[in-house]
Amino acid sequence: MAFQLDKKQQVKEILKCGKDPAYFLKNFARISHPMHGLILFNTYDFQDDLLQDFNDYRFNVILKARQLGISTITAGYITWMMLFHRDKAILVMATKFATAGNLVKKVKGIMRNVPDWLSIATINVDNRTSFELSNGSSIKAASTSGDAGRSEALSLLVLDEAAHIEGLEELWTGLYPTLSTGGRCIALSTPNGVGNWFHKTCTDASANANNFNLTTLMWDVHPDRGEGWFKKETKNMSKRQIAQELECNFNTSGETVIDPDCMQWLLSNVKEPKHRTGFDRNFWIWEEYDPSCNYLAVADVSRGDGADYSTLHMIKLETLEIVGEYQGKPTPDMYANFLNQVGREFGNAMLVVENNNIGYTVLDKLVDHQYPNLYYSVKSTHEYIEQHQAEYTNSAIAGFTTSMKTRPLIVAKLEEFIRNKLITVYSSRTINEMKTFIWRNGKPQAMKGYHDDLIMALAIACWVRDTAIQTSSRDLNYQKAFLNSIITTKTSINTQINGQIGYKKDELFDKMKEYEKIYDQYKWIIK
């Protein structure tokens, strides 16, 4: 539409623009194009639909692929709101101040390039990341590190790249009251893993469990993008980047410790337990005890403050399947009784208990119960030592110590086992923890507000399986070789030296028989 209009036509157009943001943007808004300079804002159908949603719903959450112009269309809507409405207070918030400031800059650019006759309000106060119009409407940028906006009534709150805003749960609690007088919210972002505020808001919106209207915009919603564009764009991108930037996939996006492909494989194995038992029915069982198999039980003990869980994985060593799992908040004595009972029911499974904090209390009670197969290690070295040896070793301690030294080692071992598909996890509880187990400040840990108790127990299990059990296997191979040597020697003595036939077995041959029993018991681990 030509910008040269008479006064009557101008008034008519102003009224049309005030009623319809899409009409305003398509006909009179100009944006800066990187190749073509200043051009009219020719919106696509999906952008028009989004503008309509902004008008129809107070709360909008947009799960989007990148490079769809969603930030620009949001800037256009903000421009329309400020220009055609009085006293609108708008806050743009992002993790980085520069990100929020960039959106404010886009609004300012559109505002300055509307036709003069359409500038029914002018910029009075102009700062780098905020400005105010003559009609009382204002906008400002803020980072999540400050307190901006938490004490003032807002007409519109924009959360830019919301999935990347750490601690948004707490921020939202403080910001929500500022919208109580009819204010609106637009939260937009590419996905960044699961468990954060943005993921939960999208999930709840999809289930109609909150006040947000959900819009999902994948890469192919753009009419100019086809398979050729996708192949070219993703040529040098990782699967995690593709999931995050283009496919709007929560499960395979973000900085999770577990690789996205591995996560998909893990999810394919999830199934309901056959039984839910135990004193609180939180012991899930997928497979009953098999007397022909050997088991490893690994327990993580809660701190006792009610904030985290005590957990247990029962693992069948022959197949490395998690056949049983516990997650609950029992008292130390209840948990010790439970571990003692379950361990014995699974053939006196080797029981590994994390000995941090209250773990020592649980271990002491297990010793009192005379549990026959506790895991011991050498203090400070974390080397496995057999229980009968530990009784004569001053430096031996019961249980496994998770420390700054061992934590990265056991997590790396867990990742290795999963990456090589060596362990089978059936539990949805454990998989859900993996979804929120991320790299934070270079350390593997649960996302803020989530737990990693099941994960850490499983990590310890992988470490013990790959170190202690293999050490036992190596020792038994040595014993087997020694045994064969002794047997050869015995035959030689009985056949070559007169008077030795029928000779009573001495202590050496008694020991040999003991090794034979050990070998028979553990031959399943000798390859």
User: Which residue reads 């098999």 in tokens?
Assistant: 290
- At residue 297, φ and ψ (nearest 5 deg) are -115, 125
Q: State how far the Cα of 76 lies from the Cα of 25, in Å rounded to an integer.
A: 7
Tokens read off for 407: 């934590």
Contacts for 228 with CB less than 8 Å, ≥ 6 apart: none
Tell me which amino acid residue 142 is: A
CA 146, CA 164: separation in Å to the nearest integer?
16
Q: How far is CA 409 from CA 102, 195, 288, 412, 468, in A?
A: 42, 25, 31, 5, 14
Q: CA-to-CA distance for 339 and 371, rounded, in angstroms?
A: 9
pLDDT of residue 251: 67
Q: How far apart are CA 523 and CA 237, in angstroms?
A: 47
Strands 156-160 and 184-189: parallel
pLDDT for 323? 97
Tell me the CA distances in angstroms from 412 to 231, 257, 459, one per residue in order.
33, 9, 8
Q: Which residues contact 110 (CB under 8 A, 6 or more apart)?
A: 29, 30, 31, 41, 75, 76, 79
In CATH, the number for domain 7-245 is 3.40.50.300
Task: Quote the tokens at residue 151.
Answer: 């004490």
Of how many residues is the chain composed? 527
Structure tokens that stand for 204 in this block: 């709840």
Q: CB of 257 within 8 A of CB of 412?
A: no
pLDDT tens for residues 167-205? 898 889 889 999 988 999 999 999 988 778 998 999 999
Beta bridge partners of 315: 296, 322
C-alpha to C-alpha distance for 14 and 267, rounded to whole angstroms:
55
The Cα 107–Cα 160 span in angstroms is 14
Q: Which CATH architecture has domain 260-466?
A: 2-Layer Sandwich (3.30)
| Element of type H or E holding 353 | strand 350-353
Q: What is the pLDDT of residue 527?
A: 37
pLDDT per position as a tens digit, 503-519? 334 454 555 555 555 55
pLDDT < 70 regions, the chain:
1-3, 145-151, 251-254, 304-306, 380-382, 392, 468-527
Residue 192 structure tokens: 């960044």
Asked if residues 21 and 77 have their Cβ atoms less than 8 Å apart, the reply is yes
Q: Scanning the structure block, which residue is given the tokens 């028009």?
A: 48
pLDDT at 488: 47
CA atoms lying within 13 Å on the CB side of residue 310:
29
Q: Spell out the SS3 assignment of 198-215.
A: HHHHHHHHHCCCCCEEEE
Query: Which pLDDT belongs to residue 495?
Result: 31
